[in-house]
Structure 1
């Protein structure tokens, strides 16, 4: 049984005082981690505040939004996966469509980062994109499946069991347009079938697949009903503590 997983992606938002207010508001109001696992993906400058909070608030995990594929060296401005792990970070988001678009991150680079994160005993959240243009031409398989295959190259079956795959159609991110429940299930099913081809049924059934794209408290319950959807990646809606609380407690709404 895969535990539902909800990760709020703050992107490049909030100040330290706003982060502190957010954490103060959600304290004691998150679901039991056995029912729903919750995490916040924040800028690296907030990792210290988040990890300290999460040591006390056991039902919230810390996720970095990115990292480099080397542990150390002359890479000014990059974030070390070794340093993140040392701080107590549990998850690292990799290959988000915004990283691919604005920073030209390739599947090859993302694969290196996946290996670095796993080596440092953290869990990668591997995002794969899809464009509206490709869906209209019925060629979405190249966009959804290929990034998954490329990101997992050289990843052992034992390590693969612990990764998280994020399906995020770029046309739905921050636009207010959400893919229909049927479209989300179709893509997540396709990803699951790809994982079966790569690792077999048993391991594929352990890997969590989450959806991101204009998720909010009004649509989360319907999205979570889909068979191959194990969680969501709310973006803008996760910036407001009260909205995030509603999203993670979707089972009680």
Structure 2
């Protein structure tokens, strides 16, 4: 059974006090459940306030949006995995397309971040995806295979048990133009086949693969009904407690096996 995973990536939105208010409202809308894992990924400055607002017994987990590959040192402005772990983070997003395109993160940088996350006990969510030009020229599978090959390089079957892949077509992020369920399902199957080919069928069968890219309360159910899609990495729609709660409700109706 692959438990659906819904991740809310706040990006550079919400102050610490706004984060507290969000959690207060959100917890009134979401029923505790063992059928869906929910992760909130606020900006670094709101991690502590969100953690304290959730409380020690909350099923909602904390995630970070990025990390540095070193554990400490002279890296002004950076955050290490051990710092995130100490704040209560369980997950960390790695290789988001905005990190790749706006901050010039290379595949080799992403690989180091995946390994750094695993080394300190965090669960990396590795993002992969193609641009519109790459899709229109038939390069989707090649681009994603390259990103997977680098990001997962030298990982063991045991490592893969705590890695999640998020397929986020770059052309669908923040544009309101989501991929179709068929398009997303095709890529998800390709990702699972890649993992099965490089590791074991069992590793591929248990790995969760999320869809990200203009997921909304209106279209989430159509994605989550697909047996190939194990959850969602949500951007703009997660900033509103009501819309994010509706996405989680859709996941609750569609457990995977």
Q: Deviations over 1:67-92 (max 9, x none)?
A: 00011001000001111111210000
The 2-side partners of 1:140 and 1:76 are apart by 36
For normalisation by structure 1, the TM-score amounts to: 0.96
Q: Deviations over 1:12-31 (max 9, x none)?
A: 01122221111000114324
Q: Deviations over 1:191-239 (max 9, x none)?
A: 0000101111111111100010000111111101112110001100100
SS at match of 2:206: coil
Residue 17 of structure 2 contacts residue 49 of structure 2 at CA under 8 Å; is this kept in 1? Answer: no
Aligned length: 253
Residue 4 of structure 2 contacts residue 37 of structure 2 at CA under 8 Å; is this kept in 1? Answer: yes
Residue 30 of structure 1 contacts residue 59 of structure 1 at CA under 8 Å; is this kept in 2? Answer: no
Name the structure 2 match of 1:238.
238
Q: CA deviation at 1:252?
A: 5.3
Residue 71 of structure 1 contacts residue 81 of structure 1 at CA under 8 Å; is this kept in 2? Answer: yes
The 2-side partners of 1:199 and 1:18 are apart by 43
The 1-side partners of 2:154 and 2:253 are apart by 40
The unaligned stretches of length 5 or more in structure 1 are: none
Residue 8 of structure 1 contacts residue 39 of structure 1 at CA under 8 Å; is this kept in 2? Answer: yes
Name the structure 2 match of 1:227.
227
Residue 54 of structure 1 contacts residue 62 of structure 1 at CA under 8 Å; is this kept in 2? Answer: no
SS at match of 1:39: strand
The 2-side partners of 1:252 and 1:94 are apart by 28
Q: Deviations over 1:83-120 (max 9, x none)?
A: 11112100000000000001110110111111110011
Correspondence list, 1:151-170, <5 A:
151-170=151-170
Q: CA deviation at 1:41?
A: 1.2
Name the structure 2 match of 1:217.
217
Name the structure 2 match of 1:201.
201
Sort the Cα spacing of 1:79 and 1:177 in 2 relative to 1 into closer, same or farther, 3 A: same
Q: Deviations over 1:165-184 (max 9, x none)?
A: 00000110000001000000
The reply on whether 1:46 has 2:46 as its aligned counterpart is yes
The reply on whether 1:22 has 2:22 as its aligned counterpart is yes
The reply on whether 1:35 has 2:35 as its aligned counterpart is yes
Name the structure 2 match of 1:13.
13
For normalisation by structure 2, the TM-score amounts to: 0.95
